[in-house]
């Protein structure tokens, strides 16, 4: 009998008499990924709430009699009257190196069929951007591998460079080229054993894209062996608007982990036009007042608080952002394009006319700008590409006038010939980025007049021939240019000898 009493006393001792605070409510209405909930009196803005079946949501509208929550998951499983519970937590996503090479959804859950992700660290999706005093000026280059961009519109680590243009002008291709180029630089740098080398890890956020496009992107990165340095966050067109709204913020949190831990990361938001549309949809369902083009009043704040999280931090790493915006018929004065242009540190504008003329990448040099400028370039790029933008601008101006008259003086004809060759030289096949040392060598060869005797229509073939010649036969020279990052008289002499040798073989082939 005493044993039974002892067991009962032990069980009573284990029971907790502590009061548990639990704030619960019930779904009043649910539609289009938004649930109106009553009874959540203590809920906080942006707090994570728990729906039945493990579905989670975020409290966005805090009104007197009800709370508007966006549902991150399958809405079809929810119905009126279901119980909703507050969690007291902000929405967080898993972060860390374990995510490299994986495809995850807007909440950081794997969707690539490769099993669970072993990550023990979580970062909040919404986070206040670093302050002014903790930032460093942008002066380290981030090479895209695209000659027209690296030589004239340089991007630095910690910069936010907008890629803007109409549908089908090659915006995503520029982003993928940049990611592939980072992977190639990482391989060379890590294999060299250089202790000062800092790899760049990439995060690609696909917002509102077709699933077939995302699959094609993954296949392109796998084919280039770049997926091992990349994390893909996918919220496709089939996902509900809440997932599309939260995906870029989840990607930013993943990128911030690298930045906070003294590493460099690149994040691509493809694209923020669809992100704004998803946010507009949520806002209209939540009955928030609409403004210009039916977007809510805080759509500027939506993108500014996202893009301001990209920075180069003092004593830590950097996060570089490449947001993508799709324009309609080249109209950059629309609401979302002007918003994002004013937030970013420059833009790369892609023109439909140039694309249709076969100039690819279709970068408009006149409308594109990098507000970081040459501070994000290494010395060798400044040496060979300093005058290119001016020469191209002069060419465009003269070409417009030249079509009205037939008689041209020798100087004008020389300027037009040089400009036409520069345009041809900047043509580059997609998903084939060039290393900075190859770019510098080709531009030096152009600068010294080696392409002047080549017919304009043969410039692309000549450029490809020179590239192959340098990679296969002058590897030591390219390595020297990469390590020195500047052209000395000795290197220029070696380049001249290499260019002479190539010209003889190219002429012989021709």
**50 CB-near residues (< 8 Å, 6+ apart):** 56, 84, 85, 86, 87
Task: Give the Cα separation of 323 and 316 in Å (integer).
Answer: 23
Three-class DSSP category at 266: strand
| 280 is an active site residue | no
CB 295 within 8 A of CB 349: no
230-235 β-sheet, strand order: 103-104, 230-235, 200-207, 264-270, 318-327, 162-166, 346-350, 369-370
CB 158 within 8 A of CB 172: no
Distance between first and last Cα of the chain: 107
Task: Give the Cα separation of 472 and 458 in Å (integer).
Answer: 21
Cis preceding-peptide flag for 371 (omega within 30 of 0): no
Report the half-sphere exposure of 262 (CA within 13 A, side-chain side). 3
Task: Give the Cα separation of 345 and 158 in Å (integer).
Answer: 10
Beta bridge partners of 235: 207
Phi, psi (rounded to 5 degrees) for 319:
-130, 115
Task: Give the Cα separation of 179 and 165 in Å (integer).
Answer: 19
Task: Give the Cα separation of 304 and 224 in Å (integer).
Answer: 33
Task: Indicate which residue of 97, 109, 167, 371 is catalytic.
Answer: 371
Report how far apart, in Å, the C-alpha atoms of 442 and of each of 305, 373, 381, 492 are: 40, 21, 11, 12
CB 430 within 8 A of CB 177: yes
Task: Give the Cα separation of 243 and 272 in Å (integer).
Answer: 14
User: Which residues carry out catalysis?
Assistant: 371
């Amino acid at each position: 009998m005493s044993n039974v009493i002892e067991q009962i006393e032990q069980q009573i001792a284990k029971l907790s008499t502590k009061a548990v605070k639990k704030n619960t409510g019930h779904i009043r209405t649910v539609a289009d990924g938004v649930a109106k909930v009553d009874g959540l009196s203590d809920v906080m803005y942006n707090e994570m709430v728990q729906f039945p079946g493990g579905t989670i949501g975020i409290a966005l509208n805090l009104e007197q009699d009800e709370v508007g929550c966006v549902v991150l998951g399958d809405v079809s499983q929810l119905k009126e009257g279901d119980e909703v519970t507050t969690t007291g937590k902000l929405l967080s996503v898993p972060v860390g190196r374990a995510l490299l090479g994986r495809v995850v959804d807007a909440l950081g859950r794997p969707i690539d069929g490769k099993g669970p992700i072993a990550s023990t660290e979580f970062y909040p999706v919404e986070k206040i951007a670093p302050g002014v005093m903790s930032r460093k000026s942008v002066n380290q280059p981030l090479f895209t591998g695209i000659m027209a961009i690296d030589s004239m519109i340089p991007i630095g680590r910690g910069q936010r460079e907008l890629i803007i243009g109409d549908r089908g002008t090659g915006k995503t291709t520029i982003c993928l080229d940049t990611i592939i180029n980072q992977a190639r630089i990482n391989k060379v740098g890590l294999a060299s054993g250089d202790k000062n080398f800092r790899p760049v890890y990439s995060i690609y956020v696909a917002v509102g894209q077709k699933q077939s496009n995302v699959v094609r992107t993954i296949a392109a990165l796998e084919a280039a062996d770049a997926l091992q340095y990349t994390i893909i966050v996918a919220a496709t067109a089939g996902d509900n608007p809440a997932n599309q709204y939260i995906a870029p913020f989840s990607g930013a949190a993943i990128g911030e982990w690298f930045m906070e831990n003294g590493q460099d990361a690149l994040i691509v938001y493809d694209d923020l036009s669809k992100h704004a549309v998803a946010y507009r949809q949520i806002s209209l369902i939540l009955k928030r007042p609409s403004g210009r083009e039916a977007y809510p009043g805080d759509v500027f704040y939506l993108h500014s608080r996202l893009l301001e999280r990209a920075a180069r931090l003092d004593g830590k790493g950097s996060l570089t952002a490449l947001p993508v915006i799709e324009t309609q018929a080249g109209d950059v004065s629309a609401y979302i394009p002007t918003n994002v242009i004013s937030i970013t540190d420059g833009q790369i504008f892609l023109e439909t006319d140039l694309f249709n003329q076969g100039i690819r990448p279709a970068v408009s040099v006149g409308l594109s700008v990098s507000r970081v400028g040459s501070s994000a370039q290494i010395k060798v790029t400044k040496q060979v590409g300093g005058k290119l933008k001016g020469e191209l601008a002069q060419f465009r101006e003269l070409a417009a006038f030249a079509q009205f008259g037939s008689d041209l003086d020798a100087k004008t004809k020389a300027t037009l010939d040089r400009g036409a060759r520069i345009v041809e030289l900047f043509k580059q096949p997609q998903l084939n980025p060039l290393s900075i040392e190859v770019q510098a060598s080709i531009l030096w060869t152009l600068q010294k007049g080696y392409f002047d005797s080549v017919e304009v229509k043969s410039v692309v073939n000549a450029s490809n021939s020179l590239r192959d010649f340098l990679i296969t036969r002058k590897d030591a020279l390219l390595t020297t240019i990469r390590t020195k990052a500047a052209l000395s008289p000795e290197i220029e002499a070696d380049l001249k000898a290499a260019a002479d040798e190539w010209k003889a073989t190219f002429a012989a082939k021709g």
